[in-house]
């Protein structure tokens, strides 16, 4: 098998670290990026010249371009670009400070935009490559109280990636959106800030905060997920979206079934908006709507 070169953001911990190790253990080369490259010292000690640690703040577009160029200069090409860097803070949308909401979006969406657009000239010149976007199951089903900025960004990443895939379809570039449920990473740990929750949001956001304070067992194994990703990305029939975890698979299917049922219930109303369709039509019965 041909050795691949991976470019992974947020490689210092969590999924980024696990994926860097899985790729290196598979015999590939990794450009491991982090805000603080010294956090990657153990990777270079273990894997030597197969690892290139690079400082990268994904919110800096020029830095993303420079990091991709450093990858090409070192390894000659980049085969897999992984946008993994991201974080979340918890607060109601109404009371979260706007600068906090924007900073999260800067990392979780604009960071993906910066790295993806910096990678496109490299992948186009090669005529091949894969871009992997880490979303979450929340980026598909949404609706988690307290995670307004984070989940809005993940929805945006999916829409952005679908457009990229359509625009670059003839250019040999593939895309994979990864949608995990709960995993044993530091996502809800030291990088997460939880704001004070106003009383009127206690039953929604407050309940979510209490869930973080008394977490149950986390089923997801990041190392196993990383090995799965290395194998999936190596396949010619790679999916466009990959759910990871029992909860992710269950929640996605439940959500899709509910969407289909709702679309069917309101289909006649939806169709009646076109000028060549019957109008007006009867609205669905309340009992049918609530079901």
pLDDT score, position 190: 61
47 flagged as catalytic: no
Residues 173 and 51 in one domain: yes
Residues 114 and 257 in one domain: no
Residues 126 and 186 in one domain: yes
pLDDT score, position 215: 56
Task: State the Cα–Cα distance between residues 107 and 134, nearest whole angstrom.
Answer: 12
Q: If you search the block for the tokens 């009646």, which residue do you land on?
A: 272
Which 3 state secondary structure label does DSSP give 238?
A: coil
CB 3, CB 28: distance < 8 Å: yes
Give me the tens of pLDDT residue by residue for the chain, a chain 291 residues long: 589 999 999 999 889 999 999 999 999 999 999 999 899 999 999 999 999 999 999 999 999 999 999 999 999 999 999 999 999 999 999 999 999 999 999 999 999 999 999 999 999 999 999 999 999 999 999 999 999 999 999 999 999 999 999 999 999 999 999 999 987 666 555 668 888 999 999 999 999 888 776 655 567 889 999 999 999 999 999 999 999 999 999 999 999 999 999 999 999 999 999 999 999 999 998 866 654
For residue 250 the two structure tokens come to: 């269950």
List the CATH number of the domain containing 210. 3.40.50.720
Q: What is the pTM of this model?
A: 0.93
Catalytic residue among 4, 87, 113, 154: 154
Task: State the Cα–Cα distance between residues 199 and 161, nearest whole angstrom.
Answer: 38
Domain count within the chain: 2
Look up the domain containing 22 and give its range: 5-244
Residues 90 and 232 in one domain: yes
Residues 111 and 190 in one domain: yes
135 flagged as catalytic: yes
Handedness of CA 247, 248, 251, 254 (dihedral sign): negative
Residues 176 and 264 in one domain: no
150 flagged as catalytic: yes
Residues 225 and 272 in one domain: no
Alpha-carbon distances of 96 from 88, 108, 139, 149, 224, rounded to whole Å: 12, 16, 19, 9, 35
Catalytic residue among 4, 113, 136, 150: 150
Which 3 state secondary structure label does DSSP give 24?
A: helix
Please write down the long-range contacts of 29-34, taking CB distance under 8 Å and 24 or more positions apart. Answer: 29/3, 29/4, 29/5, 29/75, 30/5, 30/6, 31/5, 31/6, 31/7, 31/67, 31/70, 31/71, 31/74, 31/75, 31/78, 32/8, 33/7, 33/8, 33/9, 33/67, 33/85, 34/10
pLDDT score, position 252: 97
pLDDT score, position 79: 98
Catalytic residue among 135, 136, 149, 181: 135
pLDDT score, position 185: 67
Which 3 state secondary structure label does DSSP give 133?
A: strand
Eight-state DSSP code of residue 270: H
Residues 135 and 148 in one domain: yes
Task: State the Cα–Cα distance between residues 107 and 261, nearest whole angstrom.
Answer: 35
Residues 196 and 95 in one domain: yes
Q: Where are the alpha helices (DSSP H) in the chain?
A: 14-25, 41-47, 61-75, 98-105, 111-126, 138-141, 148-167, 207-213, 222-233, 246-265, 267-271, 286-290
pLDDT score, position 192: 80
């Amino acid at each position: 098998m041909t050795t691949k070169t991976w470019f992974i953001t947020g490689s210092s911990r969590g999924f980024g670290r696990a994926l860097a190790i899985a790729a290196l253990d598979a015999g590939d080369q990794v450009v491991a990026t982090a805000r603080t490259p010294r956090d990657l010292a153990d990777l270079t000690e273990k894997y030597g010249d197969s690892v290139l640690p690079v400082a990268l703040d994904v919110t800096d577009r020029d830095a993303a371009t420079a990091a991709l160029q450093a990858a090409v200069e070192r390894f000659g090409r980049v085969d897999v670009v992984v946008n993994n860097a991201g974080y979340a803070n918890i607060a109601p949308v109404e009371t979260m400070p706007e600068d906090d909401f924007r900073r999260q979006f800067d990392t979780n969406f604009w960071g993906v935009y910066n790295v993806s657009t910096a990678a496109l000239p490299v992948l186009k010149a090669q005529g091949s490559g894969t871009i992997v976007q880490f979303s979450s199951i929340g980026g598909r089903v949404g609706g988690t109280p307290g995670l307004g900025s984070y989940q809005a960004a993940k929805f945006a990443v999916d829409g952005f990636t679908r457009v990229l895939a359509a625009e670059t379809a003839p250019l040999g570039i593939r895309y994979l959106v990864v949608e995990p449920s709960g995993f044993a990473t530091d996502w809800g740990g030291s990088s997460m800030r939880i704001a004070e929750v106003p009383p009127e949001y206690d039953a929604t956001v407050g309940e979510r905060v209490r869930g973080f304070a008394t977490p149950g067992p986390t089923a997801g194994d990041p190392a196993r997920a990383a090995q799965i990703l290395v194998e999936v990305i190596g396949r010619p029939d790679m999916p466009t979206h990959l759910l990871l975890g029992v909860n992710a698979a269950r929640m996605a299917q439940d959500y899709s079934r509910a969407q289909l049922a709702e679309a069917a219930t309101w289909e006649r109303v939806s169709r009646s908006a076109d000028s060549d369709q019957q109008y007006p039509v009867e609205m669905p019965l309340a009992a049918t709507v609530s079901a």
